[in-house]
Amino acid sequence: MTLPQRIVDFVNPRAKHQFKGRTCSIRSVGSYVPEKILTNHDIAQRVNTSDEWITSRTGIKERRIAAADQYTSHLAANAALDALKKGDVKPEEVDLIIVATITPDMPFPATACLVQKIIGAEKAAAFDLEAACSGFIYGLEIGQQFIMSQTCNTVLVIGAEKLSTIIDWEDRNTCVLFGDGAGAAILQNRPDSHGLLTTVMGSDGNKGDLLCMPAGGSKNPANGDTIKDRLHYLRMDGRETFKHAVNAMYKAAREVLNRCQLKISQIKHIIPHQANKRIISAVSDRLQATKDQVFINLDKYGNTSAASVAIALDEAAANGCLKRGDLILLVVFGAGLTWGAAIIEW
């Protein structure tokens, strides 16, 4: 596909007044989900709900649940090893590991450091970032900066969550939505490729209380009262979150399309955050996208937060949906509130 001149100029190191950095492409992707499947029927045994109720409102049929001795670092490392294998990249070639998560193994050290140890990436710097469901796109943009500036040659970006540990299994409005899993991407410069074309990121801390975990930090450290009041579980205002998610995802998607001077018809695949089928449908309709353009796998995994888009991207690639040169739109929304969108030349 011929890209607009604006994008060609942006990535052309000889272009006047443009940053003379390297482009950044996704060399490979990988993912991992736990073996245990929790179906809607299983949840209906715990709370007052049904498969029909959950499916009609969310599009989710089942989700994966990690074992008690399986931590976020384990999920992340498995996804990372999958991406490394697919890209024929050795762990010692990795210069930087970024893990996007809201369910780290512990407050510190960073889960990324634990992943570094597991996969044997001894030369890599490592850190975590927290942008909830938007974390993977934030991680791609941050990783790209290290590639473009020539600080790093190989960056490993991982979205990983063990959300089952912060879900209130007595709250039917939230426990039906979330699952565990991880996805990863290897970023490198690929000569003669545009790679990551542009990214939009946004946030609105004024609405941070719409989706949060009230306790466990410095504001409400763990004590008898926070445990009794169940403040260590995820809380969400579903109605308001839905409304803001649709608006923010649509605006972010439109902005990246406008920056690249692209029409939605030029996008081969749209991979949205896999949170709720009604949110995905509303955003797709406003973008005037076709059903064939939109990749959905939330029926199998539910909302895996920062891992969501990464797992979907890997599944789309594994299914043969993505071909070299295809333009892909990623669009996300999460707690913070945060949101983002990116266009990638595969």
Residue 282 sits in a domain whose CATH number is 3.40.47.10
pLDDT over threshold 80, residue 240: yes
Domain boundary among the residues 143, 166, 188 is at: 188
Q: What is the pLDDT of residue 10?
A: 47
Q: Is residue 114 part of a domain?
A: yes
The answer on 178 and 31 residing in a single domain is yes
Structural tokens at position 292: 């064939």
Q: What is the pLDDT of residue 211?
A: 97
Question: Lowest-confidence range among 8-17, 117-126, 302-311, 316-325?
Answer: 8-17
Number of Cα atoms under 13 Å in the Cβ half of residue 92: 0
Domain boundary among the residues 158, 188, 218 is at: 188
pLDDT over threshold 50, residue 13: no
**CA gap 154, 116 in Å, rounded:** 14
**CA gap 150, 122 in Å, rounded:** 20
Give me the mean pLDDT over the 110-138 stretch: 98
pLDDT over threshold 70, residue 17: no
- The per-residue pLDDT of the chain, averaged, comes to 94
Domain boundary among the residues 188, 208, 227 is at: 188
The answer to whether 303 is a known catalytic residue is: yes
Q: Is residue 1 part of a domain?
A: no
- CB contact at 8 A, 98 and 111: no
Q: What is the pLDDT of residue 2?
A: 56
The answer on 31 and 179 residing in a single domain is yes
The answer on 245 and 225 residing in a single domain is yes
The answer on 95 and 39 residing in a single domain is yes
Q: How far apart are the first and last CA of the chain?
A: 11
pLDDT over threshold 70, residue 1: no
The answer on 339 and 201 residing in a single domain is yes
**Residue tagged 């209130």 (tokens):** 168
Strands in 25-32's sheet, in edge-to-edge order, are 25-32, 180-188, 155-162, 96-100, 125-129
Q: Is residue 10 part of a domain?
A: no
The answer on 137 and 219 residing in a single domain is no
Q: Is residue 2 part of a domain?
A: no
The answer on 282 and 154 residing in a single domain is no
Q: What is the pLDDT of residue 19?
A: 44
Q: What is the pLDDT of residue 126?
A: 98
CB burial class (10 A; 0-12, 13-18, 19+) of residue 82?
Answer: buried
Work out whether the CA dihedral 177, 178, 181, 182 comes out positive or negative.
Answer: positive
Q: Is residue 7 part of a domain?
A: no
- Alpha-carbon radius of gyration of the chain: 19
pLDDT digits (tens, 9 = 90+) for 195-206: 999 999 999 999
Q: Is residue 13 part of a domain?
A: no
Q: How confident is the model at residue 124 (pLDDT cuts 50, 70, 90)?
A: very high
Q: Which long-range contacts (CB under 8 A, 24 or more apart) does 45-51 make?
A: 46/169, 46/170, 46/175, 47/169, 47/170, 47/171, 47/172, 47/175, 48/172, 49/172, 49/176
Q: How confident is the model at residue 15 (pLDDT cuts 50, 70, 90)?
A: very low
Helix (H, G, I), strand (E, B) or coil at 24: strand
The answer to whether 113 is a known catalytic residue is: no
The answer on 222 and 314 residing in a single domain is yes
Q: What is the pLDDT of residue 193?
A: 85
Q: How confident is the model at residue 192 (pLDDT cuts 50, 70, 90)?
A: confident
Q: Which of 40, 78, 273, 276 is catalytic?
A: 273
Q: Is residue 29 part of a domain?
A: yes
The answer to whether 232 is a known catalytic residue is: no
**CA gap 78, 83 in Å, rounded:** 9
Domain hosting 204: range is 196-345
Q: Is residue 36 part of a domain?
A: yes
The answer on 144 and 290 residing in a single domain is no
The answer on 72 and 92 residing in a single domain is yes
The answer on 155 and 118 residing in a single domain is yes
Q: Which of 133, 152, 175, 260 is catalytic?
A: 133
Q: Which of 40, 78, 276, 303 is catalytic?
A: 303
The answer on 238 and 125 residing in a single domain is no
Helix (H, G, I), strand (E, B) or coil at 127: strand
Give the total number of structural domains in the chain: 2
Q: What is the pLDDT of residue 9?
A: 53
Q: How confident is the model at residue 269 (pLDDT cuts 50, 70, 90)?
A: very high
- CB contact at 8 A, 274 and 301: yes
